[in-house]
Amino acid sequence: MRTVDIIEKKKLGQELTDEEIAFFIKGYTEGTVPDYQASALAMAVYFQDMSDREISTLTLCMRDSGDTVDLSDIPGIKVDKHSTGGVGDKVTMIVAPIAAACGVPIAKMSGRGLGFTGGTIDKLESIPGLSTAVDNERFFKQVKDMGIAVVGQTGNLCPADKKLYALRDVTATIDSIPMIASSIMSKKLAAGSDRILLDVTTGSGAFMKSTERAMKLAERMVAIGTAAGRKTVAIVTDMNTPLGRCVGNRLEVMEAVDALHGKAETELMEICLTFASNMILLGEKAETIEEAESMVERVISDGSAYKKFRDMVMAQGGDVSYIDDISKLELAPIEYEIKAAKSGYIHNIDALAVGEASMLLGAGRETKDDNIDFGAGIYLEKLVGDYVNEGDTILRLYTSDKSKISNAGRRLEGAIVISENKPEGKSKIIGKVE
């Protein structure tokens, strides 16, 4: 078999056989297929798409390229939750403890942020002392003892995806439905949970810019999970504006802690209620969505959801005094305000611009080796739908490096749209695929 023939076949829009896909993934992981051929194939897939069978085979080959986690020793139905990426997306930090407090075992491996999207691992590590580098033995023990662990991905999980993702990042082939679907699902399948809940984001701050493409991605990921024997549900959500008020690691921890105490914006609470109750349903701890929703409300109001989060932070070495009193979490010392250029209602605060500006302030990584400034980020003083007077502060920027403000400020030019009429309120939940 020759790689060039596989590329030629895909270039012409033909279906690859399982053997051809397996040959490519094995060769690329082992280094016998060079980057230039893998780039050509990625671009051919980008333009020619793949059938459900090809995507499933690609996913399973990537899953099997490294270690897989066997969670069968942990009693109960383990439920994983994953987002395809967003701005201000602190949902995992909120819904994982809620679901755990309702009895759903959470054994979760999360990723770091890259570019304009943040990662749960970085957010958690912004709590002083907390470590997400937990070995397998401690990971299993923590889930068995307290029902929740959120840790970094182990070194050798899906090495084929790691290599291919890095290549796609520099060859403009990230936003390909078959490749995103197989990349995410290979890691979800390797991480071992029984059921998977996906947040497929759409809009400016997401990989999928249109709802139509997001629905397609959702359908494909659900098909892969189902074919692999793991019940998978996807919820498509709007990411045209940041989620909630905080973007940046420590800021998002503060907002997550508030949400666990029941204090969050309606929109963030709606998303968390939806995701937490769907996790509870998938974990078979409730029979109806209404029952699951009332469980969510109960564990927030009786403090047990926050206690789960606190227990997890403590078990992973975090200093809980910083979450018991979030004002102790230090933000970056230099503040800069973006003010309203005119009076009126806010119609848009562009998620991509806010995500990139936050990264430029030091909250994210441009390349995977960059360091993160945990205290940097952006606080949204005003949200879409709010009325502002000219000169009111809309965004508050935090950084430790004054020279970063001008670039971030430039990136935010045109990101805020103000007009005379009040915009219609819209739900962030767009659709569900199961």
Binding residues (CB under 6 A) for ligand URA: these are 84-85, 165, 174, 179-180, 183-184, 207
Q: Is 39 a catalytic residue?
A: no
Q: Which residue, 179 or 253, has its beta carbon nearer to ligand URA?
A: 179
Q: At what angle do helices 136-146 and 304-315 cross, to 10 degrees?
A: 160
* Residue 114, beta-bridge partner list: 117
Dihedral (CA of 75, 229, 182, 206) sign: negative
Q: Which residue lies nearer to ligand URA by CB, 155 or 391?
A: 155
Name which of 39 and 399 has its Cβ closer to ligand URA: 39
Q: Return the number of the residue (143 or 200) whose C-beta is nearest ligand URA.
A: 200
Is 2 designated active site? no
| Residue 161 annotated to the active site | yes
Q: How far apart, in Å, do the first and last CA atoms of the chain sit?
A: 38
Nearer to ligand URA, 122 or 293 (CB): 122
Tokens of residue 383, six digits = 């949200």
C-beta of 117: minimal distance to ligand URA in Å? 8
Count of C-beta atoms within a 10 Å radius of residue 265? 16
Please tell me the distance from the alpha carbon of residue 111 to that of residue 121, in angstroms, as a whole number. Answer: 6
- The whole-angstrom separation of Cα 266 and Cα 215 is 24
Return the C-alpha torsion angle 333, 342, 202, 410, nearest 10.
-50
Strands in 309-372 per DSSP E: 334-339, 344-349
Q: How far is the CB of 42 from ligand URA (least distance, A)?
A: 11
Q: Give strand pairing partners of 246.
A: 379
Rank residues 165 and 275 by Cβ distance to ligand URA and give the closer one: 165
**What b/e string do you get for 48-64 counting C-beta neighbours within 10 Å, with b at 16 or more?**
eebeeebbbbbbbbbbb
Identify which of residues 100 and 200 has a Cβ nearer to ligand URA in the complex. 200
Quote the CA–CA distance of 27 and 274 in Å, as a whole number: 42
Catalytic entry in 81, 112, 162, 187:
187
Is 350 considered catalytic here?
no
- Dist. CA 155–CA 134, nearest whole Å: 11
187 is catalytic: yes
Min CB(339)–ligand URA separation in Å: 34
Residue with nearest beta carbon to ligand URA: 183
Burial status of residue 195 (CB atoms within 10 A of its CB: 0-12, 13-18, 19 or more): buried
Name the one residue in this structure whose structure tokens are 């045109």.
Answer: 414
User: What three-state secondary structure class fits 212?
Assistant: helix
CB of 155 to ligand URA, least distance (A): 16
CA–CA separation, 109 vs 107, rounded Å?
7
For residue 83, the minimal CB distance to ligand URA (Å) is: 9
Calpha distance 329→84 (Å, rounded): 28
What minimum distance in Å lies between the beta carbon of 161 and ligand URA? 7
Q: Which of 10, 78, 82, 250 is catalytic?
A: 82
Query: For residue 329, which amino acid is it?
Result: L
Nearest approach, Cβ of residue 180 and ligand URA (Å): 4
- Residues 168, 308, 310, 411: which is the catalytic one? 168
CA-nearest of 225, 252, 260, 287 to 148 is 260
Select 84 or 193, whichever has its Cβ closest to ligand URA: 84
Query: 150 near 92, Cβ under 8 Å?
Result: yes
Catalytic position from the list 161, 238, 258, 350: 161
Provide the minimum distance between the beta carbon of 84 and ligand URA in the complex, in angstroms, as a whole number.
Answer: 6
Q: Nearer Cβ to ligand URA, position 52 or 319?
A: 52
Query: Which residue, among 227, 214, 224, 236, has the nearest Cα to 182 in the 3D structure?
Result: 224
Closest C-alpha among 258, 410, 243 to residue 336: 410
DSSP single-letter state for residue 354: H
Give the residue numbers marked as catalytic. 82, 161, 168, 183, 187
